[in-house]
Amino acid sequence: MRAPTVADFLRILGLVYLIAFVSFGTQAAGLIGSHGILPVREYLDAARQAGLAWEVPTLLWIKASDAALAAVWILGVLCALAAVFSPWQRSALAACLILWLSLCAAGQDFLSFQWDILLLETGFLAIFADNSVIRVWLFRWLIFRLMFSSGIIKLLSRDPTWIGLTALTYHHETQPLPTPAAWYMHQLPVALQKASTLFVLVSELAVPLLFFLPRPFRRVGAWITIALQLLIAITGNYTFFNWLTIALTMWLFIEPDGQPEGRHRIVSVALAVFIAVASGLVMLSMFNLRLPGGSAFLRLIDPLRIVNSYGLFANMTTTRPEIVVEGSEDGEQWQAYEFPYKPGDLRRPPPVIAPFQPRLDWQMWFAALGSYQENRWFANLLLRLLQGEPRVTHLLSYNPFPQSPPKYIRARLYLYHFTHWGERAWWTREERGLYFPAVSLK
């Protein structure tokens, strides 16, 4: 099997961009369009009035219409295709970077995931990608930070489930969007769950150190990382995150070939110094350490999202609260809305949808972990349902009021649990009361 090349990586990155643009674009109108849950025009107006325009670097400042929003993601699709199939990979990827940043900056809660910023940081480095020593090591430094930060943050959080190796006894059931395989993994004996938790910690804390060793050790580290990402992808729907991480491991197989000449060397050194300083400050902040002027520097570059902190599931969720939204014509008889992918109907199996990301379903998972007051978009969702807004109901799998919207709406909270062997449903649930009280447009 031949070793991957820089061109291979750039082509795969173009494919990841393609997935990201299509996945978000098909939901954009209902999420941040003019009649969506968090309209981008209102967000930009508020940022302008607060003097925070620099913190929202987006092409949508030119025009924040639905047509402009569609133009951004459709142009992103075209540029991603160019990165995959045309010889102008770098130019196409540079355009993808600008367009994806424009969406992330304007996307608010719906484009705030770690894989969104990982794609931006990877895309920024990809503009300069070649097999010179400095640039190869910059990608290795990125995959190291991604994996090691994910491990160290679990220890720094002092979460008892990670320290006691019981995290995976909860994870398969409580993660945002499990797959059917997660149900089967949840049935495994506790001893195997603990062994799996130990494997995760070793893969994230010890294995990344192999990335800086000679080729045989480095490749062992790469294959262990790939194995971990495949296991995560099999049991959970984490969009394009696992595939982007696997793509980054390609740099553990690509061997450096000399140094760039002339001004290219100057660019490489300047890039390396910038990444080293910024990422060093980010990693120090994980340990609550600060350097003079460091916080100001990070605040300056933070809106560009080209050097970021990472770390999923620092604190393991040990229960699975789920929100069920209901509408009514009279305030007495209630009918439930059904979301397409998050748990609802107890007999419906968990989905396999990655790399597509249903961003509203994901946000419903986060909302259930807190209160509606902590999730300002949730009230906007209920408002759109009371208005019968088709761009928003399009994001649902079942609308019990297809002809006209309900007069009242509310949300109830349940605790969901995986069933066990021999039971006919996938889930059981127990009610925990109201999440959002009944309201009407009046």
The answer on pLDDT for 260 being more than 70 is: no
The answer on pLDDT for 259 being more than 90 is: no
Q: How confident is the model at residue 244 (pLDDT cuts 50, 70, 90)?
A: very high
Mean predicted lDDT score pLDDT of the chain:
95
Residues 264-299: tens digit of each pLDDT: 788 888 999 999 999 999 998 888 888 888 889 999
User: Three-state SS for 2?
Assistant: coil
Instruction: Return the pLDDT at 267.
Output: 87
Instruction: Return the pLDDT at 261.
Output: 59
Q: pLDDT above 70 covers what percent of the chain?
A: 99
Q: CA-to-CA distance for 381 and 91, rounded, in angstroms?
A: 38
H/E element, 101: helix 89-106
220-245 mean pLDDT: 98
Residues 131-186: tens digit of each pLDDT: 999 999 999 999 999 999 999 999 999 999 999 999 999 999 999 999 999 999 99
296-309 mean pLDDT: 92
Q: Which of residues 442 and 9 earns the better pLDDT score?
A: 9
The answer on pLDDT for 43 being more than 70 is: yes
Residues 307-352: tens digit of each pLDDT: 999 988 999 999 999 999 999 999 999 999 999 999 999 999 999 9
Instruction: Return the pLDDT at 266.
Output: 86
Q: What is the 3-state secondary structure (H, E, C) of 221-288?
A: HHHHHHHHHHHHHHHECCCCHHHHHHHHHHHHCCCCCCCCCHHHHHHHHHHHHHHHHHHHHHHHHHCC
- What is the pTM for the complete model shown? 0.96
Residues 55-93: tens digit of each pLDDT: 999 999 999 999 999 999 999 999 999 999 999 999 999
Instruction: Return the pLDDT at 294.
Output: 87
Instruction: Return the pLDDT at 262.
Output: 64
Instruction: Return the pLDDT at 220.
Output: 98
430-442 mean pLDDT: 95
Q: Which residues pair with 322 in a beta bridge?
A: 414
Residues 6 or more apart in contact with residue 40 via CB below 8 angstroms: 32, 33, 60, 64, 69, 106, 107, 108
381-391 mean pLDDT: 97
C-alpha dihedral (188, 192, 198, 200), degrees to nearest 10: -40
